[in-house]
């Protein structure tokens, strides 16, 4: 068996020389006082001091360490315990040098003689500068991916970017976005014209609260020329710029130059925020003081970050544009102010939502001095919800013109919603979702002081009585609109006292109110101005725009003035038309209606009563209502509807309703349990 031979001192010296001159790992030998015996850190720039001046000095005498106290404590621990230390990260730069910091992974072991005497410490120093740079970039990019684009808001997206890159990748970061993009408009094509203004949307500084920015956030101005900023957006190429007192283009930007000098910035990257050849904005990154200067790898990384941010900004821009269009459509769909007549005072509150867009209200006049009150909510968001809301509003007006009862109107409106949903379902994938919604439809009749209400998947209204009592009405609720199955819609008629306030609202109001009885508390004093009551409810809402549009419609009811309505029972006899004309003539004279209108009204009354006698059945009633319009109503017991016909020249009859249609602005038929009422309106 061969025996191991002791290595000669000459061989020991050869091994040591080879390790110090050819090993890719830096070596450091320290004595028991942690003074340098020999060193090689593999970075030539770290060996500026003459080699004969290094031995006998401490490590901190030659180099600036990132954590000198921790490093020396680690080395002392190795000396005292004999337990090796591994992988401690230490930043090193020449003493007092402003240059970059190099990172080493330090592993240390105690040196002992064959007799066990402690000789010092051997430290292996692996240069991990590039590895740590890559790891740092990956951490920053992970933060960018995680944080940027969480909101569909351009400004918030830019702020998220600044928070993600400062201080991990930059000491100062500035984001400037084309002003039109923030408003949701299409971005301009490249190259960006010099006069196009950009808005400074976000600024970040790792130095704390000190304000070093050249222009405040929100400032709008064109980029200065000639500078790297303008050139980057002209050719969409990034710029890596060394900054110093002699940098020539700084004279063209005195305010930015002052901010750069104040911050101590020595290196800058400008990267375009661009997408599909269009310009969204500019990202400017700075490093200051002791931070390493940017290199070409950092430029590549900045472009990756800018590309991700540009996509997020464009998504936010598209949402802003669609949201703006949706709100514009909705504003045109909703009445600018609720109709307020003699018998109904109204006020409303509408709080648009970031995720909604389908909430709305409406009030409009019906025949017989009645008023329709509507509040609805359509599922979905953006343009789709706003246009669907407009379609449903048009359908509601068309159905209301037929004088349908509230429950029947909701049934027909539900059929319309189902039909629209079927049309949506036939569209290509990715188009609007099937339509669903809720609605409350109420009709207030001031002549009998009643309100008839029907619900379709909607919360019941609240009524505030004149004495301050409030209650949630207990009403049957039909299925939501767009539902093919479910219980039938039902209408409930309630008596409404003079001065009562009815509150109709969307379900989002309940979800965003700070208290479940917020609405009832606010309506406890119904004699206050209605808009004040709306504001009281508004001030009790939580700042949460995720629950759909919040809509509130308040209506204060009053009876119709008794001296503005007149009614007569007529005998079912051929002479009834003459009697009706006489009654009408006297009443119109009492109301001081002009002669032309009075003559037209007498003709209308004559034709309506004649038709009722000829084709209807008892009982027969005539009613005149003077409001902003003059309404003639004739009731009879026959539920069959009259039909408008175009009589031939030789026909003796058949022209009655045709004449009425020519003389009036509106006419129609209203059905009830005891027959029908044919009515006609003239504008006074």
Same domain, 393 and 417: yes
Q: For residue 300, is pLDDT > 90?
A: yes
Can you give the pLDDT at residue 1?
42
pLDDT, residue 632, reads 94
CATH number of the domain encompassing residue 610: 3.30.565.10
Q: What is the mean pLDDT of the chain?
A: 83
pLDDT digits (tens, 9 = 90+) for 1-43: 445 455 555 555 565 665 665 566 777 888 888 888 777 766 6
467 burial level (CB within 10 Å; 0-12, 13-18, 19+): exposed
pLDDT in tens, 531-585: 999 999 988 888 765 667 889 999 999 999 999 999 999 999 989 999 999 999 9
Range in 211-220, 353-362, 372-381, 641-650 with the lowest mean pLDDT: 641-650
Closest to 628 measured CA to CA, from 403, 365, 442: 365
635: β partners = 621, 677
pLDDT digits (tens, 9 = 90+) for 271-286: 999 998 889 999 999 9
Boundary (domain end) residue, out of 78, 111, 127: 127
Instruction: Check if the beta carbon of residue 559 is closer than 8 Å to that of residue 450.
Output: no
Would residue 329 count as lying in a domain? no
Residue 393 placed within a domain: yes
pLDDT digits (tens, 9 = 90+) for 62-114: 777 888 888 888 888 888 888 888 888 888 777 777 666 778 888 888 888 87
Q: Which domain holds residue 145?
A: 133-323
Q: Please tell me whether residues 551 and 581 are part of one structural domain.
A: no
Q: Are residues 652 and 590 in the same domain?
A: yes
Same structural domain, 205 and 350: no
* Cα atoms in the 13 Å half-sphere on the side-chain side of 164: 27
Please give the pLDDT value at position 6.
52
Signed CA dihedral, 95, 98, 99, 105: sign only: positive
Last residue in a domain, options 518, 539, 557: 557
- Whether the pTM exceeds 0.75: the reply is no
127, 152, 176: which is the final residue of a domain?
127
Sheet containing 239-242, strands listed edge to edge, beginning at the edge strand earlier in sequence: 220-221, 198-205, 172-178, 278-288, 265-275, 239-242
pLDDT of 340 over the 60 cut: no
Tens of pLDDT, residues 131-189: 888 888 889 889 999 889 888 889 999 999 999 999 889 989 999 999 988 888 888 88
pLDDT level of residue 49 (50, 70, 90 thresholds): low
Alpha carbon dihedral 394, 398, 399, 404, in 10-degree steps, equals: 140
- In this structure, what DSSP letter does residue 248 have? G
Instruction: Report percent pLDDT > 70 for the chain.
Output: 84
Q: Are residues 97 and 159 in the same domain?
A: no
> Looking at residue 619, what is its pLDDT?
92
**Judgement on whether residues 542 and 585 belong to the same structural domain of the protein:** no
- If you ran DSSP here, which 8-state letter would residue 479 be given? P
Shared domain check, 588 and 498:
no
In the chain, how many domains are there? 4
594 CB neighbour count, 10 Å cutoff: 10
Contact call for residues 409 and 473 (beta carbons, < 8 A):
no
CATH code, 185: 3.30.450.40
């Amino acid at each position: 068996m061969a025996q191991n031979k002791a290595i000669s001192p000459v061989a020991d010296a050869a091994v040591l020389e080879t390790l110090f001159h050819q090993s890719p790992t830096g070596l450091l030998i320290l004595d028991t006082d942690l003074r340098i015996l020999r060193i090689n850190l593999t970075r030539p720039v770290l060996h500026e001091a003459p080699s004969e001046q290094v031995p006998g000095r401490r490590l901190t005498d030659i180099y600036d360490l990132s954590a000198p106290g921790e490093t020396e404590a680690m080395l002392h621990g190795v000396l005292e315990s004999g337990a090796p230390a591994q992988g401690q990260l230490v930043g090193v730069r020449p003493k007092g040098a402003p240059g970059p910091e190099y990172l080493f992974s330090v592993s240390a072991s105690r040196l002992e003689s064959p007799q066990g005497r402690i000789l010092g410490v051997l430290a292996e120093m692996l240069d991990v500068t590039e590895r740590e740079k890559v790891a740092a970039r990956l951490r920053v990019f992970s933060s960018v991916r995680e944080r940027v684009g969480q909101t569909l808001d351009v400004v918030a997206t830019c702020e998220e970017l600044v928070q993600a890159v400062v201080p991990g990748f930059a000491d100062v970061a500035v984001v400037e976005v084309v002003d039109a993009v923030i408003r949701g408009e299409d971005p301009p094509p490249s190259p960006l014209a010099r006069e196009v203004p950009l808005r400074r949307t976000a600024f970040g500084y790792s130095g704390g609260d000190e304000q070093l920015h050249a222009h405040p956030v929100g400032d709008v101005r064109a980029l200065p020329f000639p500078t790297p900023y303008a050139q980057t957006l002209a050719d969409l190429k990034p710029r890596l710029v060394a900054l110093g007192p002699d940098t020539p283009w700084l004279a063209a930007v005195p305010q930015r130059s002052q901010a750069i000098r104040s911050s101590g910035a020595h290196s800058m990257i400008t990267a375009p925020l661009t997408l599909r050849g269009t310009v969204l904005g500019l990202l400017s990154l700075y490093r200051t003081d002791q931070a390493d200067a940017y290199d070409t790898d950092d430029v590549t990384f900045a472009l990756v970050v800018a590309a991700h941010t540009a996509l997020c900004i464009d998504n936010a821009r598209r949402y802003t544009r669609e949201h703006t269009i949706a709100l514009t459509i909705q504003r045109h769909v909703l009445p600018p102010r609720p109709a307020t007549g003699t018998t109904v005072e109204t006020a409303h509150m509408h709080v648009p939502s970031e995720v909604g867009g389908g909430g709305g209200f409406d009030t409009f006049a019906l025949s017989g001095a009645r008023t329709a009150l509507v509040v609805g909510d359509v599922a979905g968001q953006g343009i789709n919800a706003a246009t669907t809301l407009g379609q449903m509003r048009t359908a509601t007006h068309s159905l209301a013109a037929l004088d349908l009862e509230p429950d029947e109107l909701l049934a027909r409106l539900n059929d319309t919603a189902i039909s629209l949903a079927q049309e949506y379902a036939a569209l290509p994938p990715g188009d609007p979702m099937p339509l669903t919604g809720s609605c409350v439809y109420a009709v207030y009749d001031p002549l009998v002081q009643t309100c008839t209400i029907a619900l379709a998947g909607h919360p019941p209204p609240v009524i505030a009585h004149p004495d301050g009592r409030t209650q949630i009405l207990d009403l049957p609720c039909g299925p939501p609109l767009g539902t093919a199955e479910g219980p039938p819609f039902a209408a409930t008629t309630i008596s409404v006292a003079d001065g009562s306030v009815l509150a109709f609202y969307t379900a989002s109001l309940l979800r965003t109110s700070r208290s479940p009885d917020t609405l009832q508390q606010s309506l406890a004093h119904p004699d206050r101005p209605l808009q004040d009551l709306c504001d009281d409810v508004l001030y009790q809402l939580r700042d949460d725009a995720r629950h759909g549009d919040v809509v509130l419609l308040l209506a204060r009811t009053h009876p119709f003035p008794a001296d503005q309505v007149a009614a007569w029972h007529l005998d079912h006899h051929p002479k009834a038309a003459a009697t009706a004309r006489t009654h009408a003539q006297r009443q119109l004279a009492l109301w001081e209606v002009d002669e032309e209108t009075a003559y037209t009204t007498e003709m209308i009354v004559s034709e309506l009563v004649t038709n009722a006698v000829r084709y209807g059945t008892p009982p027969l009633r005539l009613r005149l209502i003077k409001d902003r319009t003059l309404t003639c109503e004739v009731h009879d017991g026959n539920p069959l509807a009259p039909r408008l016909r175009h009589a031939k020249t030789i026909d003796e009859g058949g022209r009655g309703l045709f004449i009425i249609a020519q003389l009036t602005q509106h006419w129609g038929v209203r059905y009830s349990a005891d027959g029908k009422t044919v009515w006609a309106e003239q504008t006074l």
